[in-house]
Structure 1
Amino acid sequence: MNTPHSAKVAGIDSTVPSPAHTVASVAPGTSPAGAPNATEATEVAQVTGASGAPCAPGGLLQDRLAGWVSDLTTLHELTERLVRTDSLSAGIQEVLRAGAALVGARRGLVALEPADGLGPGATVGLGLARTDLGHLETVPRSSLPHGRILDGLPVGEGGIAEPDLFAEKGLDPRHREVAARLGYAASFALPLSAEGTGRMGAAVWLYDEPAEPGERQRHLVGLYTRYAGQHLARLLEVEHTRACMATMAEELLPSRLPRVPGVQLAARHRTGPLGGGDWYDALPLPDAALGLAVGSVTGSGPSVVAAMGRLRASLRAYSVMEGEDPVAVLSDLELLLRLTEPARSATALFGYCEPALRRITLAGAGHSPPLLIGERRTEFVETSLSAPLGMLACWEAPSVEVQAEAGETVLLYTDGLLHRTGDPADRAFARLHAAAAGVPRAKRHDPGAVAEHVLRTVLPDGLADADSEEDVVLLAVRFE
């Protein structure tokens, strides 16, 4: 008797293994030695249910369809959660959690090591502390399943399963010792790769008892990791671009601040993920003076970072030639911007600092006023209202003088500090003033501590380090 073929259903791959709960049961009273053959089992499954009760001839197909729908629904929910992750670390954590649920494990790790060598590389654990990951790193790489994957050794479609580590004769002694210490007895590993990118890393899940995923589990986790590999590849590219932009921006800014008698300097800089145009500078000038500058080019991205570098370099040249006249410095910078960057605008604040006199002569172009922080006063410096550079046919605004006392700090900053708060301008300025006024007395002698306190107070709960389209720059100048 021939086994009837199941009807072909749109969207269902007939090669997908049947769900575990649809496998035909052995008839009561039948021993394994006398188990029915495949044809007889199919016939039994078509006419009886799990309890042995008769069912319609189409019951087997309906049961399989229900299993497939359940699996597709599970994969859809897991991939939906994955695509909502927008950072590499969050994406890896989601892959670990979803994979653990699919293979029935409790712990695991992802070792990220792109084959192109561009990085970033990382090892992220699920249910494993940093010390646990350190113990695993002491095991020879070739004896770990994910280590063999990272080394480029061939891996079957079903991954690498080690169902009982302590029963395996060829297990490395160090691996056996670490497994006993961490309390796992089996593992299952899969490569993480993407089309066009190649191998990115490996994922391994750890079982507390001897176990291995079944055929259905392997199939589902294989489908999931193939999709996850594509998503992680995109996040990896974003992370790589972000790191390159941050490095480029940092390289265009001062690697160290100058040492000038009479003042102490400190800076804080936070770059957005797309690369922004905020900058700061401090340049020694003739007659023991100091040129101070903060500014911002509108927009984000590589072209903005490049424009920021050009403007900062030009401002340094102008400050050497005529730094004692900040208005002339910004006028020259505005002319350069209109001639070479006609589609851009920028804000800037330049100060000619005379440490011996504790005096700063300031000129600003569309920039927020500096903040003077002292024992007896905390106040914004009154500056003239002016347009950003590149907005008018000819920029010019009067300069102002700031006379500080010994121990006082002048804080220059960019608008990103205010914008990241998400508050209206008046509330953001009030928050900044309150943060500056609340600097503890013990920190006021250190401009770095002052800048850090203001940054963390104005942007609490991780906002200072969170990804944002806004760059943040603070330059603190303390007079001795």
Structure 2
Amino acid sequence: MTTPHVPKVAGIEPTLPAPAHTAAPAAPETRPFAQLAAAHERLAARLSDLTALHDLTGRLARTDTLEAALHELLRAGAALVGARRGLVTLEPPDGLGPETTVGLGLGPADIGHLETVPRRAMPLGRLLDGLGAASDADVGAEAGAGAEGSTAVTPDAGVVEQPLPGGSTPPLPRPSTGVPTELAQPDLAGDPGLDPRLREVAARLGYAASYAVPLITDPSADGPEGTERAGRPLGAVVWLYDEPAEPGERGRRLLALYRAYATRHVSRLIELHRRRHAEQTLRTEMLPARLPRAPGVRLAVRHAAGPYGGGDWYDALPLPDGALSLSVGSVTGSGPSAVAAMGRLRASLRAYAVMEGEDPVAVLSDLELLLRLTEPARSATALFAFAEPPVADPLGGPPAHKIVLAGAGHCPPLIIGEHRTEFVETSLSAPLGMLACWEAPSVELEPLPGETLLLYSDGLLHRTGEPVDRAFSRLHAAAAGLPKSVRQDPEALVDHVVRAMLPQGLTDPGSPEDVVLLAVHFEG
């Protein structure tokens, strides 16, 4: 039996369903599953990238000094672009500094070799010199000096420009700041236009490729100095490869995101560094530039301020007839206001020392009255000593010394000699500014020839992290254990005490305490 014929109708193509026994099974639809799997892989890759950036930016955020931040920037960038060594140079455009260079995997000698290369031949130099408005002629000259294989990219284009035939590169595309967002040299050995000095240094240091980026602040960010600084560059970073290479698209993208955060963090640390440097300069200028010379004594001092700037001071002032006034003290508080108060108090103490230095009680009484009248919200501790001129022995023996001292809430000085090491028993007294009228008896001391009087601030004890009584015992033990040769040299003596009390040294950014040690050695 045959299938009946279906008549044709104009415009319609007759179709008949296939017989059930001859129909092939429909193929399963796999495209949606493939798309879902691809989307899942992209999501996993993006999540991995975000996790890596979160970890790297977290490590950077925990740095609180400029040098530490630059080291972390180099380390994180090297991990993202697949390099082993790097170099970062800061040159803030306002000229206020700090200008510094930090290396990763490069020693001072290696950095010195790189600095001998002409500036315009180095990727860092090209980026730094282009940090500003550059004319078209300058851009064209820089592009003409480029070599085959060098590439640059703009933030708008987002792609790497290919070199033109004949070994020249197109003009470096630049964003609004006048500097390319990256500068790559993927194969230095195959670059015929490379500067001979750069080729020589690269061969000596053993690197074959480089990848450099500028550090430019976010134009939309509100900097501490207003919008004038926004978008202006701070410096540049270059990473060095041991073999011909350049970062891939993923590494470039992650580095761009990381660099935006890192530049803002570095910019904040630059401002913090400047403030700390200004405070340190102010504090240093308020203290004696050098210790005076006085008959029969030798002086040595060690002073270190905490990271927040405290009000500890020391002074040694020659007085008429060969006498010498000595003082150490501390003003409560920290920061610029405490430093200013310390300067005013120390200047007043000097004036009182000149007028009535032979009576330390009168000096501190006047200082206490001044503090209550001019600094009612502050208190201070102080120790003032008047060293009389040495008296010659009529029998030809060593000269005799005499010291009169008084303390106001300050740590007792330590007398160090061959036959004794003991704290001088000063009268107990409250700090200045805490009593309606301060007055305490003075103490007389007659150091023997060869002995040393050590004045110090309580920061020396607090920095040890131990209870005060244990810190006093530790100081006494450090002084009692001095070698004989060290006892005769005040410079060596203070260094020995610092090493014994503060193994981490005077410059401890983790401690807010100031430290003062003033050693007075009496010669025979």
Q: What is the TM-score of this pair, normalised by structure 2?
A: 0.80
- Residue 144, structure 1, aligned to residue 178, structure 2: no
Counterpart selection for 1:75 from 29, 50, 53: 53
- Residue 466, structure 1, aligned to residue 508, structure 2: yes
| Partner SS, residue 57 of structure 1 | helix
Between 369-378 and 230-239, the greater mean CA deviation after superposition: 230-239
Counterpart selection for 2:410 from 350, 354, 367: 367
- Residue 129, structure 1, aligned to residue 107, structure 2: yes
In 2, distance between residues paired with 1:57 and 1:140? 53
The answer on whether the counterparts of 2:321 and 2:389 sit within 8 Å (CA) in structure 1 is no
Aligned partner of 2:487 in structure 1 is: 444
| Partner SS, residue 267 of structure 1 | strand
- 1:15-56 C-alpha deviation (Å, 9 max, x unpaired): xxxxxxxxxxxxxxxxxxxxxxxxxxxxxxx967xxxxx944
In 2, distance between residues paired with 1:422 and 1:404? 31
Relative distance call for 1:355 and 1:479 in structure 2 (3 A) is farther
Alignment of 1:59-458 (within 5 A): 59-153=37-131, 156-157=154-155, 158-195=181-218, 196=223, 197=229, 198-356=232-390, 357-458=400-501
The answer on whether the counterparts of 1:246 and 1:273 sit within 8 Å (CA) in structure 2 is no
Between 463-472 and 371-380, the greater mean CA deviation after superposition: 463-472
Pairs aligned (count):
429
The answer on whether the counterparts of 1:263 and 1:355 sit within 8 Å (CA) in structure 2 is no
In 2, distance between residues paired with 1:152 and 1:401? 69
In 1, distance between residues paired with 2:62 and 2:47? 23
Q: CA deviation at 1:194?
A: 2.4
In 2, distance between residues paired with 1:404 and 1:272? 33
In 2, distance between residues paired with 1:180 and 1:290? 62
The answer on whether the counterparts of 1:294 and 1:350 sit within 8 Å (CA) in structure 2 is yes
Relative distance call for 1:163 and 1:384 in structure 2 (3 A) is same
In 2, distance between residues paired with 1:55 and 1:128? 50
Q: CA deviation at 1:418?
A: 0.5
In 2, distance between residues paired with 1:273 and 1:117? 24
Q: What is the TM-score of this pair, normalised by structure 1?
A: 0.87
Q: CA deviation at 1:415?
A: 0.6
- 1:156-205 C-alpha deviation (Å, 9 max, x unpaired): 33411110112112211000000000000100011113243532211110
Q: CA deviation at 1:464?
A: 2.0
In 1, distance between residues paired with 2:481 and 2:88? 44
- 1:297-345 C-alpha deviation (Å, 9 max, x unpaired): 0111001101100000000000000000000000000000000000001
Q: CA deviation at 1:242?
A: 1.4
In 2, distance between residues paired with 1:70 and 1:244? 43
The answer on whether the counterparts of 1:282 and 1:291 sit within 8 Å (CA) in structure 2 is yes
Runs (5+) with no aligned partner, structure 2: 1-28, 135-151, 156-180, 224-228, 391-399
Relative distance call for 1:273 and 1:193 in structure 2 (3 A) is farther
The answer on whether the counterparts of 1:108 and 1:127 sit within 8 Å (CA) in structure 2 is yes
Q: CA deviation at 1:93?
A: 1.0
Q: CA deviation at 1:444?
A: 1.7
In 1, distance between residues paired with 2:86 and 2:474? 44
In 2, distance between residues paired with 1:276 and 1:340? 19
In 2, distance between residues paired with 1:266 and 1:97? 42
In 2, distance between residues paired with 1:72 and 1:345? 52
The answer on whether the counterparts of 1:355 and 1:479 sit within 8 Å (CA) in structure 2 is no
Between the two proteins, what is the percent identity of the paired residues? Answer: 68
Aligned partner of 2:164 in structure 1 is: none
- 1:395-433 C-alpha deviation (Å, 9 max, x unpaired): 111100111000100000011101111100011101111
In 2, distance between residues paired with 1:386 and 1:308? 20
Between 333-342 and 155-164, the greater mean CA deviation after superposition: 155-164
The answer on whether the counterparts of 2:90 and 2:234 sit within 8 Å (CA) in structure 1 is yes
| Partner SS, residue 165 of structure 1 | coil
Q: CA deviation at 1:259?
A: 0.8
Give the aligned CA root-mean-square deviation in angstroms: 1.5
In 2, distance between residues paired with 1:419 and 1:114? 38
Q: CA deviation at 1:150?
A: 1.7
The answer on whether the counterparts of 2:117 and 2:197 sit within 8 Å (CA) in structure 1 is yes
Question: Which has the higher Rg, Structure 1 or Structure 2?
Answer: 2
Between 206-215 and 231-240, the greater mean CA deviation after superposition: 231-240
In 1, distance between residues paired with 2:334 and 2:248? 49
